[in-house]
Amino acid sequence: MPDTDRAYDLVLFGATGFTGGLTAEYLAAHAPAGCRWALAGRNQARLEEVRTRLTAIDPSLADLPLLHADVEDPDSLRAVAEQTRVVATTVGPYVAYGEPLVAACAEAGTDYADLTGEPEFVDRMYVAHHARAVETGARLVHACGFDSIPHDLGALFTVQQLPEGVPVRMRGMLRSNAAFSGGTFHSAVGAFSRVGQMKKALAERRKVEPRPEGRRVRAVAERPHRDKESGYWLVPLPTIDPFVVKRSAMALDRFGPDFTYAHYAAVKRLPMVVGGLAGVGLLAGAAQVGPLRRQILKRVPQGSGPDEAKRARSWFTMRFVAEGGGRTVRTQVSGGDPGYTETAKMLSEAALSLAFDDNPPTSGQVTTATALGQNLIDRLVRAGMRFEVL
């Protein structure tokens, strides 16, 4: 039930950005009656513009509260965290801008959800703030968008189709035709430029993170190869998603005593594989050179993204094949535009689930599968995403 000691159930930070604006629009259309929510940001005039746009969806939002919050003003973030039960943020790249809000939520015992796909940031936040969040009861739930809900909840959905207590080997295969936003591009280039820092953050996390007792969990990366069953070329994806799936498997016994996960992009033709690998390699190389990196980032400004018509044509499928207990199951998670339309939906529903659902008792840095599990799957199905056994 809502905590009446706090003014709000949910605060959205970053609504003046591209994805944040879509998230605000989703909440305007789908937040339940009686939900006490607000927008937060540093630019009052731009927040007012967003609020005006939301009144076309719901005229009652003309009085939607607007809160001052600035990543360079820790006191403002602390004030927001202390006023609400849940904060959802779209302000990235998170490795540059995210920690002050995580720290404020961990200290205030406030639940937190973001859209990061940056492994370095997630690992650093675990080391710095997990223990305090456990003490205060805050749930810090990263990667609540396309990174990594379809993969994390899809893996959970898949193991639920297998017998309990058996070794499981699973592979996930992603297909999509979607474009990316400026924010996503900036985060990716930033990650390519910080490989050393990313490895260091992971090493520091491994020093303090407990391992599951009596169980084995692995995320593996095989070489590109042709999958005989699907007919697609499978290329390992250097994303945060397999790390998130692995951490859910570490936390949940339902993944079995010996769980292995491999994560791929599924591509029809070999030339596409070669071209994609070459493009990623060139971008990763360019990201290491400061002037070249800055020039590349100027070409795709933050706050930009595909228009509504392009998003309407976009789609994704995430297919899983898992073997365990003498059985093989095939499942699929699918939806529309993954990076924006569906990401706004996923972040919103994750935040609403944190605020209103009877979820498993957890605290600290937790994954969507661990913190929200079946409740979030059910929410997303009602919202139009598909979780299917094939």
Which amino acid would we find at residue 104? Answer: A
Q: What is the mean pLDDT of the chain?
A: 90
Instruction: Give the residue, 15 or 283, on which the prediction is more confident.
Output: 15
Closest CA to 83 of 91, 71, 75: 75
Instruction: Give the residue, 301 or 280, on which the prediction is more confident.
Output: 301
DSSP type of residue 210:
P
Closest CA to 193 of 100, 120, 92, 97: 120
pLDDT tens by residue, 325-376: 999 999 999 999 998 899 999 999 999 999 999 999 999 999 999 999 999 9
Q: Report the distance separating Cα 115 and Cα 178, nearest Å.
A: 17
Q: Report the distance separating Cα 387 and Cα 369, nearest Å.
A: 14
Write down the pTM of the prediction.
Answer: 0.92
pLDDT score, position 221: 81
pLDDT score, position 196: 86
Which amino acid would we find at residue 288? Answer: Q
Instruction: Give the residue, 384 or 183, on which the prediction is more confident.
Output: 384
Given the candidates 3.40.50.300, 3.40.50.720, 3.30.420.40, 1.25.10.10, the CATH classification of the domain at 8-145+341-385 is: 3.40.50.720
pLDDT tens by residue, 170-229: 999 999 887 655 555 666 666 667 778 989 999 999 999 999 999 999 999 888 888 888
* Residue pair 366/142 in contact by the 8 Å Cβ criterion: no
pLDDT tens by residue, 225-274: 888 888 888 988 888 999 999 999 999 999 999 999 999 989 886 555 55
